[in-house]
Structure 1
Amino acid sequence: MKPLVLEVESLTKHFPLGGGMFRKVKNVVQAVSDVSFTVAAGETLAIVGESGCGKSTTGRAIMRLLEPTAGSVKLDGEEITEMSPGKLQAARRNMQMVFQDPFGSLNPRMTVRETLMEPILLHGVASGERAQKWVTDLLKTVGLSEHHADRYPHEFSGGQRQRICIARALSTRPRLIVCDEPVSALDVSVQAQIVNLLQDLQQKLGLAYVFISHDLSVVRHIADRVAVMYLGRIVEQAPAEQLFADPRHPYTRALISAAPRPVPGLRTAVEAAEGDAPSALNPPSGCAFHPRCPLATAECSQARPELRQVGDGGALVACHHADEPAPVVLETAPPASATLSARLGVLAAARAAAAETAKA
């Protein structure tokens, strides 16, 4: 069994809202509530859900870019939430983050060399000529060349900028990388390249990933386990293959149903959830999903379901009706590699058609 790199227990992040002269707290946004999971070395845990469900807040709370309201975050057995600023800076050598917007996360006034040298020198990874060589090696590792080192972020494409951000995350030789929507701002063809790069790096370096995304086809391709979040809570957690083949929570079924399907003829009879998610300022009583759930009963509106194991595959589901069979059967989806290949095929066909039109 691989050693655990990250242990998150009952992580909570609430944002108080104040007003008036004395800034008294009037209300609280319950962004993340009682979230627990673990990630082992060489494993990828994907966190998925609708916009506003708390995915990114969870990632930032793990890194302590946002201070958790409550809960425990352990990196290699060390408690992160109680560390002093000095100890936290030292611990950040072992945990890094890749953000959604590569251009926004790079300093436009720093060259690539300066961007990569900063964490290397700050954490004492190397110095002098060794540091310069480490920068060159990092660029080669992510598919760039040494001559890119003295350029500025605006001189690169979106995919190249994200490679630079990945190189920066690797610069301190971390054990854990939190990837917050790392491919959502990129073209389809570039998405596949970045996902494959992340997988190659994981196999080579034994990295642990927390992969935050709303793109289920990418999650299906890269994740070992998937945690589904709804209104700040995990409602289902299972091995990726099992979750896509046999989702047990109604919200998970709705998410999979709503995902775009590039393969012609692939359909599902499960209906997407109607309406918008409730406000985190005033979440519903009981199960937060019950106002949109086709299986909801009086029990769902009164008692909040806790995560419990369902079946023999290790799935954890927070639903009073998780043991009941799905109202309809999901059609068999193609392998993740086929899905990504189909997406690239659509792009290639469009380019070929455009070329033919230009010739005509």
Structure 2
Amino acid sequence: MPTPVLEVSGLTKHFPLGGGFLQGSKHVVQAVSDVSFSVGKGETLAIVGESGCGKSTTGRALLRLLEPTSGSVKLDGEDISKLPPHRLQALRRNMQMVFQDPFGSLNPRMTVRETLLEPLLLHNIATGKRAHETVNKLLVRVGLAPHHADRYPHEFSGGQRQRICIARAISTRPRLIVCDEPVSALDVSVQAQIVNLMQDLQRDFGMAYVFISHDLSVVRHIADRVAVMYLGRIVEEAPAESLFADPRHPYTRALIQAAPRPVPGLRVASEPPSGEAPSALNLGPGCAFASRCPLATDLCRSTRPEIDAVDGGPTRIACHHADQRAPMVFPPAPTPTPALAARLAVMANARNSMT
């Protein structure tokens, strides 16, 4: 089996709190705890979960934008978690990031040309006339025009700015791109264009993606595998198709059940699971989801389940009751009115014409 592009083992990131300079820190926020996964060439692993579950912290720790507390991150077999700064900078050519806010991640005082030239010059990829030609090709590749190179970020729409960010990310031909909510700040119509662009680029260049998102409809479209996080830990990891068809962990089932339906009035999302989530300052000895889980027992409250493969297959789950299924209950779908039925037919025809 070939070596994965990215191998993560026991990744942990804790943030110390309070105490002051003389007293020292007494508490830590357990943002990410013992996270392990791998991503192959040309593969997309999506990380999903509620806000505050540790998705973005995980993505930043992968690239050492945040220093991990412990664990290892290997890119093409080389552990980057302990590299000195000069080695890390050289390796950054092979690992890039696309951020959620395209406007905030672009320097407003730099033109698009200057923004795209920067990584080319920093990593000695191209200089002089060749560097400017590369900038023009990058813009065309992401759906913009060469004349856009001399404009500033405020002169573009949100979707165009994200295309510029993607062009910057692929300029070094990286092996890995971490995408942190790359379409959540965009209009729905633009989201589809950006997702399709990212898939085309991945197919052409063979890059691995770690795709962080809370939008399950986008994840279902782009991901090969999905890792579900809850309070800093992965509770389920599975191929995307099987995870959406038959989610095993009660939290995964609750997420899918609570997701909004694409057609208003046809089906509505059910209520999220009841109960309070524990504090990240004190998760306790048991399963962090036990207080909200319909399958919880005394074992769940006293002993934290370790994530493990189910029946030796590709699905991993951290649950003492992996052989059971929490119920997924949707409100009954009402009979669509003639107007809604006609609208659904138009939408179906539009989808068919796009494919």
Does TM, normalized by the shorter one, top 0.5? yes
Q: CA deviation at 1:280?
A: 0.9
Which residue identity lines up with residue 325 of structure 2 in the other structure? P
Distance in 1, matches of 2:20 and 2:325, equals 51
Number of the residue aligned with 2:242: 242
Q: Decide whether the 8 Å contact of 1:238 with 1:314 is kept in 2.
A: yes
Q: CA deviation at 1:18?
A: 3.1
Classify 1:21/1:210 alpha carbon distance in 2 versus 1 (closer, same or farther; 3 Å): closer
Does structure 1 residue 111 correspond to structure 2 residue 111? yes
Q: Decide whether the 8 Å contact of 2:238 with 2:315 is kept in 1.
A: yes
Give matches, 1:274-353, under 5 Å.
274-311=274-311, 313-328=313-328, 345=347
Give matches, 1:101-140, under 5 Å.
101-140=101-140
Q: CA deviation at 1:283?
A: 1.3
Number of the residue aligned with 2:80: 80
Number of the residue aligned with 1:195: 195
Distance in 2, matches of 1:185 and 1:148, equals 22
Which residue identity lines up with residue 8 of structure 2 in the other structure? V
Number of the residue aligned with 1:89: 89
Number of the residue aligned with 1:68: 68
Q: Decide whether the 8 Å contact of 1:119 with 1:168 is kept in 2.
A: yes
Q: CA deviation at 1:272?
A: 2.5
- Identify unmatched segments of 5+ residues in structure 1: 332-340, 349-360
Does structure 1 residue 265 correspond to structure 2 residue 262? no
Number of the residue aligned with 1:351: none
Distance in 2, matches of 1:98 and 1:21, equals 36
Number of the residue aligned with 2:228: 228
Q: Decide whether the 8 Å contact of 2:305 with 2:320 is kept in 1.
A: yes
Distance in 1, matches of 2:225 and 2:280, equals 26
Q: Decide whether the 8 Å contact of 1:242 with 1:313 is kept in 2.
A: no
Q: CA deviation at 1:2?
A: 5.6
Q: Decide whether the 8 Å contact of 2:275 with 2:291 is kept in 1.
A: no
Classify 1:236/1:254 alpha carbon distance in 2 versus 1 (closer, same or farther; 3 Å): same
Q: Decide whether the 8 Å contact of 2:257 with 2:328 is kept in 1.
A: no
Distance in 2, matches of 1:74 and 1:169, equals 20
Moved more, 270-279 or 292-301: 270-279
Which residue identity lines up with residue 186 of structure 1 in the other structure? L
Distance in 1, matches of 2:215 and 2:52, equals 15
Q: Decide whether the 8 Å contact of 2:93 with 2:172 is kept in 1.
A: yes
Number of the residue aligned with 1:153: 153
Q: CA deviation at 1:314?
A: 1.6
Distance in 2, matches of 1:257 and 1:285, equals 28
- What SS does the corresponding residue of 2:178 show, helix, strand or coil? strand
Q: TM-score, normalised by structure 1?
A: 0.89
Q: CA deviation at 1:327?
A: 3.1
**Identity among equivalent pairs (%):** 74
Q: CA deviation at 1:328?
A: 4.5
Q: CA deviation at 1:198?
A: 0.4
- What SS does the corresponding residue of 1:22 show, helix, strand or coil? helix
Does structure 1 residue 208 correspond to structure 2 residue 208? yes
Q: CA deviation at 1:278?
A: 2.4
Classify 1:328/1:181 alpha carbon distance in 2 versus 1 (closer, same or farther; 3 Å): closer
Q: CA deviation at 1:233?
A: 0.2
- What SS does the corresponding residue of 1:52 show, helix, strand or coil? coil
Distance in 2, matches of 1:66 and 1:22, equals 25
Q: Deviations over 1:239-277 (max 9, x none)?
A: 000000000000000000111101353468x75212453
Classify 1:129/1:19 alpha carbon distance in 2 versus 1 (closer, same or farther; 3 Å): same
Distance in 1, matches of 2:97 and 2:23, equals 33
Q: Decide whether the 8 Å contact of 1:2 with 1:41 is kept in 2.
A: no
Q: Decide whether the 8 Å contact of 1:44 with 1:223 is kept in 2.
A: yes
